[in-house]
């Protein structure tokens, strides 16, 4: 195995609060351990189009509290092709980069796995996504901040829902996973969470209505994951209009509001621990792994496991939402 002297860092996919804290930890831990660091702008786009800069400790000063990513992120169709990846590899070699740390979600780590397999590049991934939908880890960087943003928004929506005696559908992110909707419902005291993991088991909207939520309450808030399986908030509101016209339904789509903001302490700590662990992993000869956290301990998760959508919802929490909503 070639000796690693220079490590490249990139952020890819949707931005997540805490990515900057991870960039900072990777950079400074690498420098502390004698490595050189290169910052790659705009994710895989920067590899293909050679947007690579030297990074020093000063490059990451005063960023731990910032949302988004100072390295930027962008889609890159070219990287999905063998020709594009060959160009990326050539640029990486020309810049003297021996290994990569990739911070991102499912698509980003899938790209890392393919690139590593084709060119035998040592790559360590960090789970940077608000959806918390990666396998092998209890939490992802950005999830806690997004969850707190959702809770703050729902607390405010409840004021108007109560005033007007309405049913509010609040759509949150979570294309493949219902963690934000489910735990957002628990934390905000919402009456229900409609999530993709349950859509094949029951008609969640009918179950909500049939439970007679209006018997003890004159308003209700339902958190809905944006996944097409659930129909999204707009689809559910349309169903209410057609099937249960006696209810006055309203929709709030939180959208990219969930991605922004200063990361919580939990996300800053998680990102810092994972960023440092990425350098330890590369120093120990690890490759094709994501840094995960299980029961508070950092673990190495193969890319194949991280991206196989093995993350599962706790059905006890689904029942708990129902119990606490009576």
Where in the sequence numbering do the catalytic residues fall? 131
Phi, psi of 130 (to 5 degrees): -75, -15
Residue 318, number of CB atoms within 10 A of its CB: 20
**SS3 category, 52:** strand
Residue 323, number of CB atoms within 10 A of its CB: 7
For the stretch 199-203, contacts whose Cβ atoms lie closer than 8 Å and that sit 24 or more positions apart, written own/partner, are 199/227, 199/229, 199/230, 200/229
CA 163 from centre of chain: 34
Distances, alpha carbon 69 to alpha carbons 14, 55, 86, 169, 290, in Å: 10, 14, 26, 30, 19
CB-CB contact of 20 with 68 (8 Å): yes
Sequence-ordered list of residues with C-beta below 8 angstroms from that of 214, at least 6 positions apart, any chain: 220, 247
Distances, alpha carbon 162 to alpha carbons 75, 157, 223, in Å: 42, 9, 16
Phi, psi of 294 (to 5 degrees): -130, 120
């Amino acid at each position: 195995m070639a000796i690693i002297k220079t490590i490249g860092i990139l952020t890819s996919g949707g931005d997540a609060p805490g990515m900057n804290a991870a960039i900072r930890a990777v950079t400074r831990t690498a420098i502390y351990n004698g490595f050189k660091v290169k910052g790659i702008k705009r994710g895989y786009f920067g590899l293909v189009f050679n947007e690579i800069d030297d990074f020093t400790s000063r490059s990451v000063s005063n960023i731990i509290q910032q949302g988004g990513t100072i390295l930027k992120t962008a889609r890159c169709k070219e990287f999905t092709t063998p020709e594009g990846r060959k160009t990326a590899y050539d640029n990486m070699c020309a810049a003297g980069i021996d290994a990569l740390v990739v911070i991102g979600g499912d698509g980003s780590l899938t790209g890392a796995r393919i690139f590593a397999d084709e060119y035998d590049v040592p790559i360590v991934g960090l789970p940077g996504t608000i959806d918390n939908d990666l396998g092998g880890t209890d939490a992802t960087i950005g999830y806690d901040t997004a969850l707190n943003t959702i809770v703050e928004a729902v607390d405010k929506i409840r004021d108007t829902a109560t005033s007007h005696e309405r049913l509010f559908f609040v759509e949150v992110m979570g294309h493949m996973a219902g963690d934000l909707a489910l735990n957002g419902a628990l934390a905000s005291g919402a009456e229900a969470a409609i999530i993709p993991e349950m859509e094949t088991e029951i008609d969640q909207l009918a179950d909500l209505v049939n439970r007679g939520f209006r018997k003890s309450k004159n308003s209700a808030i339902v958190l809905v994951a944006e996944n097409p399986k659930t129909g999204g908030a707009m689809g559910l509101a349309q169903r209410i209009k057609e099937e249960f016209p006696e209810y006055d339904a309203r929709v709030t789509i939180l959208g990219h509001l969930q991605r922004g903001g200063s990361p919580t302490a939990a996300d800053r700590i998680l990102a810092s621990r994972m960023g440092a662990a990425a350098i330890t992993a590369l120093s120990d000869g690890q490759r094709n792994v994501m840094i995960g956290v299980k029961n508070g301990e950092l673990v190495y998760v193969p890319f194949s496991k991280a991206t196989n959508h093995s993350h599962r919802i706790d059905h006890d929490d689904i029942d708990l939402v129902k119990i606490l909503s009576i």
